[in-house]
Amino acid sequence: MRRFKIIILSIFLISTVPFRALLAWGPIPFQESERNYNFSSSGVGIVDWNYSTVQWKDGKIILPAQQEGFGSSGVLWTYDIYFSPHIYSLTLNGIFSQPSGTRVLAFVSFGDDIREYPLNWGSAFAPSIVTTRMRLKIFLATSNPDLSPELQEISLKAELRDLSEYAPRYRDDRRVWDLKTMNVILDRYYKDFKHYPIVNINKSEKENQWDVIKNILDSATFHSMYMKNYKSGFINQPIGVDNDYKYGYLTDSSGNNFLLWTKLEQSDSVHFATSWQEKTFDIECQSPTLCISSIVLHEPEPIIRFFDEVGNLQDSGVQFIKENENEKVYLNLNGFRLWLNAPDIFESVGGIWNNIVNLGSTIHQMPLVKFIRAEGEEKVYLVSKNGTIRHMLSQTMVDAYGKFDEIITVGQEIIRALPQNYLIRTEGGHKVYLLDQKIKRWITSPQILEKLNFDFSDVVEVKSEEINSYAEGNPIF
């Protein structure tokens, strides 16, 4: 009989906790919220006097006073109390006096559920439904009309978790965004030090891995000859989740390549289509584990139409050029030069370091490319002075910078290789804008620019005709 009762109790416990909540405990971060209410006043703002049958006196809630003494019982109802996100567990404490023969009991109703659930003071209670709303009922009783229990204060401590239907996708999006942000930070470090922060720690010790990265970036910032903050935008480990859903980071012994990884809740997430999927540093980079790596499996494809079968430049007027020992390398496109502003861009369009032609000072006789367009495409891009490109949304924008016959058609691989420009300001102006989905958003301070992991060197001055063509969105504070 006792075993039967235990089985029934187990079934009841499972049925009263949301099944998806049980499954999703690991990946869902939790947060805590505390609410404290005292009755120094008559309880305005917390007590729903339309339904309560107790009385307030001198900062305390007591039973109703009657001619023959105190009433035998009374209730205090609160108004609806809201939390965000969903209530996962609730702990109620209170300051109250409970003389012998009196009782102070607590109950709770969740959301639109009319049922009342008893609470034990100081013990956590998990609701049986997913909700962000609750209401408390405090029951006061006495068996002696000369005595009344007294309630002075109640304190709520709630553990909150986002258990909504679409939350897994949102949480996965945030995880991927965090890893991509860390990728930007690591690339910034690599650009100056020619290797990534070296971390060789057991793959399960993610907290330690993250501490090592942080310490390396702190040290690089402190000793930086470049006056840079290498930890700007650093993403902290998520809290309240299993180790699988924390962020991992490992490198090879020389720091030439890194791997970032985490587990996603959705095994069919769209992010797996573009994630790294090779086993690396003993990590299986397959769903549900998402990886980002600096490793390149294959040599980048060259600009096929510019090279013959043995890799020599064809007679097409296209070559890679530079001025003496100047580090800037350009692509010569039929007499116009296009700056390839980073080594990886040079290599991604088929550049070979030994094949760069030194033109000396005569290179300045070649005009810079102003507009480019991919073969078979209508989109026109303006090439900025910093080597980035920006889509010209209208003929008005093109006219502000030049003529339609100055557009040079290039291969799609060049468009893909050149970095996009997202930060602009008016010529001579001070306001910096982020181009976001064809709208401009004012970045209100240098600190916000840094927080977004951009550098002031990313900002390009533009004509007023262009900047006035963009719709203005909300500023970024």
Q: pTM of whole model > 0.75?
A: no
Distance CA 69, CA 53 (A): 15
Cα separation, 233 vs 218, whole angstroms: 12
DSSP 280: B
Rounded distance, CA 157 to CA 124, Å? 9
Q: Which segment of 6-10, 186-190, 221-225 scores lowest on mean pLDDT?
A: 6-10
- Please state the rounded mean pLDDT for residues 345-357: 83
Render pLDDT for 30-72 as a digit per residue (tens, 0 to 9). 889 999 999 988 888 899 999 999 999 999 999 999 888 999 9
Burial level of 304, CB count in 10 A (0-12/13-18/19+)? exposed
User: Domain locations in the chain?
Assistant: 2-161, 167-293, 422-477
Element (H or E) spanning 248, and its range? strand 248-251
Summarised one tens digit per residue, pLDDT across range 7-39 is 333 333 333 344 333 333 467 788 899 999 999
pLDDT of residue 377: 85
* Range of weakest confidence among 5-14, 101-110, 123-132, 441-450: 5-14
Report the pLDDT averaged over residues 254-271. 91
* Alpha helix positions (H), 78-205: 167-193
More confident site: 148 or 345: 148
Residue 304 pLDDT level (bands cut at 50, 70, 90) = very low
pLDDT at 308: 40
Cα 416 to chain centroid distance, Å, stands at: 25
Q: Tens digit of pLDDT for each residue in 306-329? A: 434 444 444 444 578 888 877 889
Which position has the token pair 């057991």? 202
Residue holding tokens 């573009």? 274
The per-residue pLDDT of the chain, averaged, comes to 85
pLDDT of res. 296: 65
pLDDT of amino acid 24: 39
Say if residues 414 and 349 touch (Cβ distance below 8 Å).
yes
**Which CATH number is 2-161 given?**
2.60.120
pLDDT of residue 235: 95
Mean pLDDT of 202-211: 92
Write the pLDDT tens digit of every residue in 389-437: 999 988 889 999 998 888 988 888 888 888 888 899 999 999 999 887 6
Mean pLDDT of 447-475: 86
Q: What CATH architecture does domain 422-477 belong to?
A: 2-Layer Sandwich (3.30)
Compute the distance between CA of residue 235 and CA of residue 207 in angstroms, rounded to an integer. Answer: 12
Where would I find the H helices in 329-425?
Answer: 343-348, 395-401, 412-417
Provide, rounded to the nearest whole percent, the portion of the chain with pLDDT above 70.
88
Higher-confidence position of 222 and 48: 48
* Domains 2-161 and 422-477 agree in fold: no
Ranking 82-91, 202-211, 465-474 by mean pLDDT, the lowest is 465-474
- Whole-number pLDDT of residue 104: 96
